[in-house]
Chain A
Amino acid sequence: MHPKRKKRLTLILFMVLGVGSAVGLLMYSLSQNINLFMTPTQIATGEAPVGRTIRAGGLVEPGTVVRDDSGLGVRFVVTDGQSEVTIAYDGILPDLFREGQGIVAMGKLGEDGVFVASEVLAKHDENYMPPEVQEALDKAHKDGKQALEEARY
């Protein structure tokens, strides 16, 4: 083979191998690092993995927000209209966290069924509904909007 072609071939092989292994590594690590979203119903039925970082969300059930007397601990219940899950969090809640609001929490589900959140997200818009939460509401038996109305009172 012509030495110039040979060099070009080596270069191309090197690049294909490099890019291939890079993509393989990326995909593998990606599959290890995704955070699944679980609805309260999925958590209630035991579908959600225990002890692995997942995201969970729903509407904050009015009257369930309980703060510790000292410190920043807080517990509240989120619902998708069918099932409920208790979320425990220690820290500062976002500006738009309030009862009836749709929220998404990132954290781990404990053996006792309490979801321990490391982060609570609520978007900066009064009317914004996290898409995951909207879908969870839709999925639950009750109509999503109806649940939203009821939850707001």
Chain B
Amino acid sequence: MTNLSGMLPEFGQLALIFALLVAAVQMVVPLVGVRRGQAWLMAYARPLASAQALFLIISLVILAYCFVVDDFSVAYVAKNSNTALPTAYKISAVWGAHEGSLLLWVTMLGCWGLAVAWFSQSLPLDMVARVLSIMGMVSVGFILFTLETSNPFDRNLPSMPQEGADLNPLLQDFGLIVHPPTLYMGYVGLSVVFAFALAALLGGRLDAAWARWSRPWTIAAWVFLTLGIALGSWWAYYELGWGGWWFWDPVENASLMPWLVATALLHSLAVTEKRGLFKSWTVLLAIFAFSLSLLGTFLVRSGVLTSVHAFASDPERGVFILALLGICVGGSLLLYAIKAPTVASVGRYEWVSRESFLLLNNLLLLVAAFAILLGTLYPLIIDFMGMGKLSVGAAWFNFMFVPISVLLALVIALGAMARWKADDLKRLGSETVAAMVAAVLLGLAVPLLADGTMNWQVLLGMGISFWLIGATLLDVWKKARGRLNRIPQLGMSYLGMVLAHIGVAITIIGVTMVSNYSIEVSARMAKGDTETLGDYRFEFVDAGHIEGPNFVSDAIRFRVYDGERQIALLQPEKRRYNASGSIMTEAAIDVSLLRDVYVSMGEPLADGAWGIRLQVKPFMRWVWLGAIFMSLGGLMAMLDKRYRQRKNAPNNAVQASTAQEVTA
């Protein structure tokens, strides 16, 4: 028994190898079935996908178990865990570094395959076979990468360490338990959309039915991406200790780019489903979205971000991912080049129509994604060419992202309310007059009420948000023909869209307010000192020591007063982690819907004084609240009943005809 449990890591690796073999079969057999028109071969796709997922899950669970029982004979566990680490963090340490993150990545890929296998009952068998075969290809590439370059089950034998090196203290936190899995679910979920697009290209069936199948999967991946990005921002905000919530850091950019393209894809899919237009464009977006999530993986995992030279010193991983990226992007674009010209989009639309507005929204989103790509890769290219070291400042990203967002917000409301085929600007204008007036008045009022000076950024940000909310609600009111009880009948899909668009406005409000009206002061404070910031007064009550499970910390108690009323007792900490000796700042935050009060400790100075950073950040929560609205909206749209139609559902002519093709 002891022998067997001692061999657990080998079983984990074995499960991973089995998963690779199953994925290889999944890649080949169903496609052969499609080629030969043999349904029994195609039917292998679903059980193979399930088996692959099962093996991957076994492998991941075994790795987690090795962490829980402190099996330091496994090199990855020894590097990223410690006996004193709380159990929850031992489990999240599974994805705390490179090897385990990759295992999580491929396991999620397997789980998405499993989901496709289960929830594709209404799909024709040849489509399922193609989709799962393409997902099998992606799996083969990434499991091979994991086994070849980053095996999490590598052993420290025969001399295993008695104690582990500990998980990076930054990552010992609730945010890290949830942020990476959510984000990865989004990244990897885009592989389903990608597989659907390629399968449709292969089968020459880019039609409304294909768009309808792809939509819920795209939305699902997008919801995870949205939540993952928001969680990452929230985590950075409270854990890095200085209250920044977006840094235009390459790793963040790597997650924002696929999000922007996936957002464009969602809207383009809507046009393809409803009007049969933009087909090749939609396919291209699906390819781009997944390629960008692979590029993100490459940037984060290859080491090029720390330095192009780090890439050169450990080239195996980087070259492998770069090759995968090349095969994936190159192969799919080649297929696109061969097949897309045969795809004709029929149907016409006028300059002023929902199609045009959605196209404009697509272009804006793509320009934003491209600009971020440029800003992220530019320093790498310059460095690679030996032209010096430079960095692109946040100022540049803001400079280009803000105007695009403003234009985008303008178009969002119009796109949602305009009619298909042809509409009239006058009609759109007359129906939204109330929203325009409200937007201008409220946009003017907010900066004047806030500090009495006219701030055009605030005017623009607030105006655009009020316009978006106002126009969206006016449209709901009109569609419900002025009756509240008719609103639920408008359909989950439409209401989900409304919620998501309002979410965009909420995020813009948050970003505008927190960027323009945040105040902060860094001060030298000792016991008994008080400091005033805005309406708030901070009193340094006393300082003390705290013994944590695997750290010791200096802590300070602050009383925060609004006038004479005490509103919060805050206790920031400066932690020192025993195993690694790392120092960590734990900020203390008093949260409310209208403002965050943020206190963090700097360094100890002479005579028991500390450098203290105090911040008041208005509407901070709105930035993430908007993301929650967007995700809920996505969730509602996914639940729309038209995605759950079975084969025998009425007026489903498209699927009936495709079913005939298969049997023919």
10 closest A-B pairs by CB: A92-B602, A131-B307, A33-B396, A37-B389, A95-B583, A34-B390, A92-B611, A91-B522, A132-B389, A36-B390
Question: B367-395, CB under 8 A of A: which get 1 and which 0?
Answer: 10011001100110000000011111101
Which residue in chain A gives the minimum CB-CB distance to B399? Answer: A29
A126 x B389 contact (CB < 8 A): no
Task: Flag whether A45 is at the interface (Cβ < 8 A).
Answer: no
CB pair B375–A30 under 8 Å, yes or no, is yes
Report yes or no: A33 in contact with B395, Cβ–Cβ below 8 A.
yes
- CB pair B367 A30 closer than 8 Å: no
8 Å CB interface, A23-67 against B:
23, 26-27, 29-30, 32-37, 53, 55, 67
For B583, give the chain A residue with the smallest CB separation. Answer: A95
Instruction: Decide: A35 and B390 in contact? CB cutoff 8 A.
Output: yes
Cβ-based interface call for B363 (8 A):
yes
**When each residue 26-65 of chain B gets 1 if its CB lies under 8 Å from chain A and 0 otherwise, what string results?**
0000000000000000000000000000000000000000
**Known A-B contacts A92-B611, A124-B168; A26 and B524 likewise in contact (beta carbons under 8 Å):** no
| Interfacial chain B residues near A69, Cβ < 8 Å | 606
Q: For the complex, what is the distance from the CA of A96 to the CA of B388, rounded to whole Å?
A: 26
Contacts of B170 in A (CB 8 A): 124
B306 contacts across to A, CB distance below 8 A:
131
When C-beta atoms are compared, the residue in chain B nearest to A25 turns out to be B400
Q: In the complex, what residues of B have CB within 8 A of residue A23's CB?
A: 370
User: By the criterion CB–CB under 8 Å, are A30 and B391 in contact?
Assistant: no
Please provide the chain B residues from 269 to 313 with a CB less than 8 Å away from any CB of chain A in the complex: 306-307, 309-310
* A–B pairs, 9, beta carbons within 8 Å: A19-B367, A23-B370, A26-B374, A95-B583, A97-B603, A124-B584, A125-B168, A126-B581, A131-B306
19 other A-B residue contacts (CB within 8 Å) besides A72-B602, A91-B611, A124-B169: A4-B348, A18-B363, A19-B367, A22-B371, A29-B396, A33-B393, A34-B379, A35-B390, A35-B391, A36-B389, A37-B390, A37-B391, A53-B393, A72-B611, A91-B522, A96-B583, A124-B170, A126-B580, A131-B310
Bound Cα distance from A82 to B565, whole angstroms:
57
B400 pairs with A92, CB closer than 8 A: no
Q: Mark A8-25, 1 if CB is under 8 A from B, else 0.
A: 000000010011001100
Q: Determine which of A22, A30, A91, A92 lies in contact with B396 in the assembled complex, contact meaning CB atoms within 8 Å.
A: A30
Contact with B along A126-139 (1 / 0, CB 8 A): 10000110110000
Closest CB in chain B relative to A30 CB, distance in Å: 6
Query: Which residues from chain A contact B389 at a C-beta distance below 8 Å?
Result: 36-37, 131-132, 135
Q: In the assembled complex, how far is the CB of residue A38 from the closest CB belonging to chain B, in whole angstroms?
A: 9
- Say whether A35 contacts B393, CB under 8 Å: yes
B215 at the interface (CB under 8 A from A): no
- B363, A126: Cβ atoms under 8 Å? no
Residues of A within 8 A of B580 (CB): 126
Give bound CA distance, A70 to B306, whole Å: 37
Give chain A nearest CB distance to B318 CB in angstroms. Answer: 15
Contact present for A33 and B522 (CB under 8 Å): no
Asked if B443 CB lies within 8 Å of chain A CBs, one says no
Report the separation of the CA atoms of residues A32 and B396 in the bound assembly, to the nearest whole angstrom: 9
Verify A55–B391 contact, CB threshold 8 A: yes
B150 an interface residue at 8 Å Cβ cutoff? no
Closest residue of B by beta carbon distance from A123: B306
User: Which B residues are in CB contact (< 8 Å) with A124?
Assistant: 168-170, 582, 584
| Chain A residues bordering chain B, tally (CB within 8 A) | 37
Give chain B residues whose Cβ lies under 8 Å from the Cβ of A34.
378-379, 390-393, 396
- Say whether chain A's binding surface is mostly helix, strand, loop, or mixed: mixed
Q: A136: nearest residue on chain B (CB-CB)?
A: B389
| Given A91-B522, A126-B581, A131-B307, residue A30 in contact with residue B378 (CB < 8 A) | yes
Question: Number of B residues whose C-beta is below 8 Å from A?
Answer: 43
Q: Given A95-B583, A131-B307, is A15 in contact with B363 using a C-beta cutoff of 8 Å?
A: yes
Shortest CB distance B343–A (Å): 15
Answer whether residue B189 sits at the interface, using C-beta atoms and an 8 A cutoff. no
The 8 A CB mask of A102-139 against B (1 = contact, 0 = none) is 00000000000000000000001110000110110000
**CB of B241 closer than 8 Å to a CB of A:** yes
Interface assignment of B454: CB less than 8 Å from any CB of chain A: no
How many angstroms between the C-alpha atoms of A126 and B583 in the bound complex?
Answer: 10
Q: Does B460 contact A (CB under 8 A)?
A: no
Asked whether A26 and B371 contact (CB < 8 A) given A96-B583, A126-B582, the answer is yes
Is there contact, CB below 8 Å, between B584 and A33? no
> Do the beta carbons of A67 and B605 come within 8 Å of each other?
yes
List, in ascending order, chain A residues with CB within 8 A of B363's CB.
15, 18
Chain A residues closer than 8 Å to B348, beta-carbon distance: 4
The CA-CA distance from A135 to B170 in the complex, in Å, is: 27
**Is A95 a contact of B391 with CB atoms below 8 Å?**
no
Cα distance A34–B393 in the bound complex, in angstroms:
6
Q: Is B631 an interface residue (CB 8 A)?
A: no
Q: Which residue of A is nearest B383, CB measured? A: A131
Asked if A33 contacts B399 (CB within 8 A), the reply is: yes
A29 touches B583 (CB 8 A): no
Give Cα distance in the complex from A92 to B603, angstroms.
7
User: A36 to chain B: closest CB distance in Å?
Assistant: 5
In the bound complex, residues from chain B placing their C-beta under 8 Å from that of A18 are 363
- Which residues of A are found within 8 Å of B584, using beta-carbon distances? 95, 124
Q: Are A72 and B391 in contact, CB atoms less than 8 angstroms apart? A: no
Q: Is the CB of A72 within 8 A of B390?
A: no
Shortest distance between the CB of B253 and any CB in chain A (Å):
14
Asked whether A29 lies within 8 Å of B168 as measured between CB atoms, the reply is: no
A97 to B374, CA, bound (A): 31
Would A71 and B603 be within 8 Å (CB), given that A33-B392, A131-B306, A131-B310 are in contact? no
Is B151 located at the chain interface by the 8 A CB criterion? no
B613 at the interface (CB under 8 A from A): yes
| Distance (whole angstroms) from the CB of B281 to the closest CB of chain A | 11
- Taken together as a complex, chains A and B put the C-alpha atoms of A52 and B603 apart, in Å, by 29
CB distance from A107 to the nearest CB of B (A): 12
Within 8 A of A (CB), among B598-617: 602-603, 605-606, 611, 613
CB of B353 closer than 8 Å to a CB of A: no
Q: Which residues on A sit within 8 Å (CB–CB) of B395?
A: 33
Is B438 interfacial (CB-CB < 8 Å)?
Answer: no
Q: Does B632 contact A (CB under 8 A)?
A: no
Is B146 part of the contact surface with A, judged by Cβ < 8 Å? Answer: no
Question: B6 to chain A: closest CB distance in Å?
Answer: 32
Cβ contacts under 8 Å, B585 to chain A: 95
Min Cβ gap A135→B in Å is: 7
Q: Is the CB of A29 within 8 A of B391?
A: no
Chain B contacts for A96, CB-based, 8 A: 582-583
Cβ-neighbour of B367 out of A22, A37, A131 (below 8 A): A22
1/0 contact trace for B564-584 toward A, CB 8 Å?
Answer: 000000000000000011111
Contact assessment for B391 and A70 in the assembled complex, using a CB-CB cutoff below 8 Å = no
Nearest-Cβ distance from residue A45 to partner chain B, whole angstroms: 15
Chain A residues in 8 Å Cβ range of B396: 29-30, 32-34
A32 contacts which chain B residues (CB < 8 A)?
396
Query: Cα distance A60–B307 when bound, in Å?
Result: 21
Please tell me if B75 contacts chain A, counting CB pairs below 8 Å.
Answer: no
